[in-house]
Amino acid sequence: LHEEWPANSQFFCDGRCITGPCHGASLCAWTCIIVPSIVYAAFALPKCWQDWHPLVPMAAIAVFGLTVLLLLFTCCTDPGVLPRRSILLATGTAEELSAILGYNVLGMPNDPNSPRAADPQGLVPVDLVAKGYRWCRTCQIVRPPRASHCPDCDHCVLRFDHHCPFVNNCIGQQSSG
């Protein structure tokens, strides 16, 4: 499935890790962490090891490792992506996702005479529009309140906050706290 994903995201580890399209800011963030750490390890670490207690440089190495690990997790975590209509129909998971979200993510049948439809496409029921649900023209799904379409990754994200170029991923429901 991840090989056929129609958005700009990149998948690694057989689809378990997702990240956005490659940007220079992400490379800058990794460089600003790794280069000073290499300089520290080459010049300051041996002196600290000899002059101070060995726990000081070991603690610095542990902080570096933790920083790299957490940045890597943030870069590769699914932020709460809502699959596009084509993916939901191809995999047959539309009903499962609708049960989880509590509404029909594919929308109502397209009936322009339907009095219950409040959006121009006639797919979002009036009661959902009143609650803040909207139709995504790109993904062709009904997205819940606070979900938004990320122009960088080209998919909808639950509780979308922003696309962070430094972690090269969206900040959304599953990546923020």
For residue 110 the two structure tokens come to 């397209």
3-class SS shares of the chain: helix, strand, coil, % to 5: 40, 15, 45
Residue identified by tokens 């490792």 is: 65
HSE-up of residue 135 (Cα within 13 Å, Cβ side): 16
Residue 6 to residues 9, 18, 74, 121, Cα–Cα distance (Å): 8, 13, 22, 22
**Would you say 146 and 131 are in contact if contact means Cβ atoms under 8 Å apart?**
no
Annotation says 17 is catalytic? no
Distance CA 112, CA 126 (A): 13
* Active-site pick, 150, 153, 156, 164: 164
Catalytic residues: 164
